[in-house]
Structure 1
Amino acid sequence: MDSRTRRSVSRSRLLAVVACFVAASMAVHARADEVHARLLTIGPAYSGSSVNVVANRRHSLFTHGRMQFAAYYDNDHHLVLGRRSLDGGEWITQRTAFKGNVKDAHNSISIAVDGAGILHVGWDQHDNPLNYARGVRPLELELARVPYMTGVAETRVSYPEFHLLGDGDLLFLYRDGQSGRGRLVLNRYSVRQRAWRTVQSNLIDGEGQRSPYWNLTVDSGGGVHLAWLWRDTPDVATNHDLAYAFSADGGASWRSSERAALTMPITVAADAYVAKIPMRHNLMNPPWIATDARGQPYIVSYWSDAPDSPAQFRVVYRSKDSWQTETITRRTETFALAGAGTRRPPISRGVLVVENTIDSAPAAHLVYRDDAAGGALLMSTDRLGSAEWRQRQLTRTSPGAWEPTLDPVQWQRYQQLHLLMQSVEQRDGNDAEDAGTAAAEIATLMIDPRVDQAR
């Protein structure tokens, strides 16, 4: 392993893009001392695709104790790990010997830190054998490759993601199979035994005719919430419908929102739907799911009322005994979401966070990119369900194909948004060629979205 370690001091076009956040924030807030945003550069990174800042990364940043970790690909396609102390430390990076197919934005890196402080990393996955490594010691960046987790269904892995449980164990999810013909696998890592086991070898099954595109979160009480949509072919235009399931036992059993038991595997016939959305309505995959302090789920994606109408971000949430859909945006520009491969639509996928209060209608914040609006945006509401959302500009110049990814621990613990930021390009529908751009600085942008919300 290449153990070259360096402090990140280089500068590139990202600084010009993200530095505008501070200027934009000053324009929003009445006094400069009300600007609760800070940019901390990490180092130069590959920017020829959106692989470093694609929204389905779980996770790009992760905090354990007073230490924060990051992962990305450099311009030589090597996996690079970063670490910094929350007590004012700069990023320290270590280039590993592991590489990825960075031209394909599906092949992103996912990280998490278990309860013992061990870093877990999955990378370079798109219908290929599992790539997995973990730290050799607590809080260290040196990795040891692990040839398999359980040995079950690990030859055609896509979309790896880790999630931390309250007892320090980890969940790991991935798709086994291909777009249009896949199933969801769920494993669990025991901190005490330092070993993985299969929880569900077939949690959601496309039955050879479709694939689920999912998102998962763990609430403060340990409940596991899963949202997904279905895709019937590799064409993103065949995305349809939103569904939801809940587990109180770490994924061993699942129930619908009405707490009716769901038979494993969950299929398209299961009574788990929360919103029926036809194909060719610009529904983006995967949805995003967040929870409030009461463990109530909120599911976010964008889609159109009709195939030729503007796509709008919407949040689907439970109110009394039924699911409601609230439209967040009022976009006027139209586009058609269709085709195979990584798409480059004019809006990114979104990340929703819900404030940690016991209110039945808590405050919430959505981060996404809209090219028509000039860059990255922050939408905020004082009460979910009120249909009253305020927009703030995060960048005054475009970050290219950037999509938001965040550190889940920073939000859960401090109600802070820590976002991985990089200006990147993405060829629409082309995962075989990159955009030919030079390395661009990657950084963390730290925001308190609650400051001065009413302005």
Structure 2
Amino acid sequence: MLQEPTATVLGPDPTHRKHAINGYAFQQDAVTTFNGWQYAVHYSSGRSGDEEPLFVHLSRRKLPEGPIETIVFEDYPQTTDDGHNTVQLGICHDDGTIHLSYDHHCDVLRYRYSVRGLAQDPTAHQWNPSLFTSTLEYLPGIASSHNHFGYVTYPRLGSLGPGVLFMSLRDGKAGLGSDHLYLYRAATGFWEFVGTPLTGVQSNPYVHGWDFDQRRNILHVTWVYRGFVWYDGWDDLADTKHKQQAGPNGAENNHNLCYAYSEDLGYTWRNGKGDVIADLRRGQTIDNSTNGIVAFEIPKKSGLMNQEAQAVDRSGGVHVLNRQMLDEKHMWVHYHRSAKGNWTSRAVRPIDGPRRGRLAITKDDRLLFILPETATPTMRILQATKLDDYASYEEIWLGEGLTGEPLIDGPRLESDNVLSIFTKKAADDSDDMRNVVLLDFELSTNN
């Protein structure tokens, strides 16, 4: 069993809104570590204490126990009560720039970045908003008139090695969209447009994650498709039905678990057999009919969720957490592609609602499942080991008073074997107050 974690409060979580805005599975990343410092992003009220508007908060601390320092970006008020409009964080290791993207649900791109060297030498910089640009509607190096910056949802940021940062984003609405890929290079300080890896045909892809295996220089992606269902006014530019939390094209239309990988930072894509299926330099893309992408044929109305979780183990195996109706029970399911390319699927445990879980890989190659309950404010952690090819699941921790969808700090787990979980916790046993917190679990090979 895991020992009880230490908890660090990042700030109050807004409770006055209808929809939560901190802690969703599609945030890649909300917490990350670089150079011995940990960084996390969330929304909270401004320094005035008023409930509205909300502002992006960027926190940092020197590990393992340094004090929290927080920048509040009060030049950009967030006022839309929509859980899609989360904050994402990325760090380019070679030039120390910190990148943020925020507040999108079919909206113009919103992005800012820091001065060079900030994350490489944190103590040389006084932590304040002047270290960052204002909110930009473009990526430096790519014109603001670029086709895909005007209707953005689900941006993701992450490292593809020391000198390269990626951003992906969806252009289009639920059921009718595609995923586009961009690279930031420290050598130039600019972004470049790679292309459109995933195109939806009368559908849109929902990715579980873009995970880069630095040992093998391979970028992995898995996704499900959501088929489009026609509704009155779908082609009206003023239509907002698709911006509802559960709009006319909902999760009941999710189907098929798909997989592809790239060995050149996303320019060329291969299916699970190793066949080249899309060369983005030539304007090609992966769409619903591309050969060899479907790992599991799963029909609509099978309980599949969008954007749940993905992780890559130290041997190069790919793990996906999603869910299905099995024997009339709604179950979390572990889909596993071994390092040899063989897929298996196994039920993990029953699920009681829509909150999505997270996967994590420890230094000794254990697979952790961080699973929230929906009906009660409970979160549990299960583990599977390489000894039986990750085929059995043991509960190693159960926590109360926690809500939302957990996120994890992958780099800290990789470097320090500390599991940092970004979540939300009731404050002072109160139902109407809660904090955004980091829970830190010290792991050992005996857990």
What TM-score does the superposition give when structure 2 sets the normalisation length? 0.81
In the alignment, is the contact (CA less than 8 A) between 1:237 and 1:279 conserved in 2?
A: yes
Report the Cα distance in structure 2 between the residues aligned to 1:147 and 1:107, rounded to whole angstroms: 15
Report the Cα distance in structure 1 between the residues aligned to 2:412 and 2:62, rounded to whole angstroms: 13
**Hey, what does 2:65 align to over in structure 1?**
88
Q: 297, 305, 311: which is aligned to 2:318?
A: 297
- SS of the residue corresponding to residue 415 of structure 2 reads helix
- AA of the residue aligned to 2:255: H
Which runs of structure 2 are paired with 1:63-82 in the superposition (5 Å)?
Answer: 63-75=33-45, 76=52, 77-82=54-59
User: What are the Cα deviations for residues 328-355 of structure 1, in whole angstroms up to 9, with x where unaligned?
Assistant: 22x2x66xxxxxxxxxxx2521211223
Q: 376, 381, 388: which is aligned to 1:378?
A: 381
- SS of the residue corresponding to residue 285 of structure 1 reads coil
- SS of the residue corresponding to residue 274 of structure 2 reads coil
Q: 112, 117, 126: which is aligned to 2:90?
A: 112
Structure 1: state its 5+ residue gaps: 1-27, 30-34, 335-345, 425-436
In the alignment, is the contact (CA less than 8 A) between 1:229 and 1:287 conserved in 2?
A: no
Could you say if the C-alpha distance between residues 439 and 109 of structure 1 is closer, same or farther in structure 2, counting changes exceeding 3 Å?
Answer: farther
**Hey, what does 2:410 align to over in structure 1?**
408
Count of residues paired in the alignment: 387
In the alignment, is the contact (CA less than 8 A) between 2:319 and 2:334 conserved in 1?
A: no
- AA of the residue aligned to 2:210: L
1:407 Cα offset (Å)? 1.5
**Hey, what does 1:144 align to over in structure 2?**
133
**Hey, what does 1:363 align to over in structure 2?**
366
User: What are the Cα deviations for residues 106-162 of structure 1, in whole angstroms up to 9, with x where unaligned?
Assistant: 000000111122110000011000000011351355221333112321000000111
**Hey, what does 1:248 align to over in structure 2?**
263
**Hey, what does 1:42 align to over in structure 2?**
10
**Hey, what does 1:343 align to over in structure 2?**
none
Q: 147, 152, 156: which is aligned to 1:157?
A: 152
Report the Cα distance in structure 2 between the residues aligned to 1:66 and 1:321, rounded to whole angstroms: 35
Report the Cα distance in structure 1 between the residues aligned to 2:425 and 2:310, rounded to whole angstroms: 25
1:440 Cα offset (Å)? 2.6
Could you tell me the percent identity over the aligned residues?
A: 21
Q: 253, 256, 259: which is aligned to 1:238?
A: 253
Instruction: Please say if 1:265 is aligned against 2:269.
Output: no
RMSD: 2.2
- AA of the residue aligned to 2:72: R
1:80 Cα offset (Å)? 1.1
Report the Cα distance in structure 1 between the residues aligned to 2:170 and 2:158, rounded to whole angstroms: 15
1:283 Cα offset (Å)? 0.5
User: What are the Cα deviations for residues 70-106 of structure 1, in whole angstroms up to 9, with x where unaligned?
Assistant: 1111133111111111142111112112232452110
Report the Cα distance in structure 2 between the residues aligned to 1:392 and 1:129, rounded to whole angstroms: 43
Structure 2: state its 5+ residue gaps: 46-51, 120-126, 229-248, 279-283
1:371 Cα offset (Å)? 3.8
Q: 379, 388, 394: which is aligned to 2:392?
A: 388
1:381 Cα offset (Å)? 1.6
In the alignment, is the contact (CA less than 8 A) between 2:100 and 2:112 conserved in 1?
A: yes
Bigger shift: residues 276-285 or 133-142: 133-142
- AA of the residue aligned to 1:305: L
In the alignment, is the contact (CA less than 8 A) between 1:127 and 1:156 conserved in 2?
A: yes
In the alignment, is the contact (CA less than 8 A) between 1:46 and 1:438 conserved in 2?
A: no
- AA of the residue aligned to 1:285: N
1:409 Cα offset (Å)? 1.1
Could you say if the C-alpha distance between residues 289 and 354 of structure 1 is closer, same or farther in structure 2, counting changes exceeding 3 Å?
Answer: same
**Hey, what does 1:123 align to over in structure 2?**
102
User: What are the Cα deviations for residues 166-193 of structure 1, in whole angstroms up to 9, with x where unaligned?
Assistant: 1321010000111111001000001121
In the alignment, is the contact (CA less than 8 A) between 1:246 and 1:257 conserved in 2?
A: yes
Larger strand fraction of residues: 2
**Hey, what does 2:302 align to over in structure 1?**
281
Report the Cα distance in structure 2 between the residues aligned to 1:449 and 1:277, rounded to whole angstroms: 36
Could you say if the C-alpha distance between residues 412 and 168 of structure 1 is closer, same or farther in structure 2, counting changes exceeding 3 Å?
Answer: farther
- AA of the residue aligned to 2:37: M
User: What are the Cα deviations for residues 287-328 of structure 1, in whole angstroms up to 9, with x where unaligned?
Assistant: 42211112221122112126x422323233236453111222
- SS of the residue corresponding to residue 310 of structure 2 reads strand
Report the Cα distance in structure 1 between the residues aligned to 2:437 and 2:72, rounded to whole angstroms: 16
In the alignment, is the contact (CA less than 8 A) between 2:13 and 2:435 conserved in 1?
A: yes
Q: State the structure with bigger RCO (CA 8 A, min sep 6), 1 or 2.
A: 1
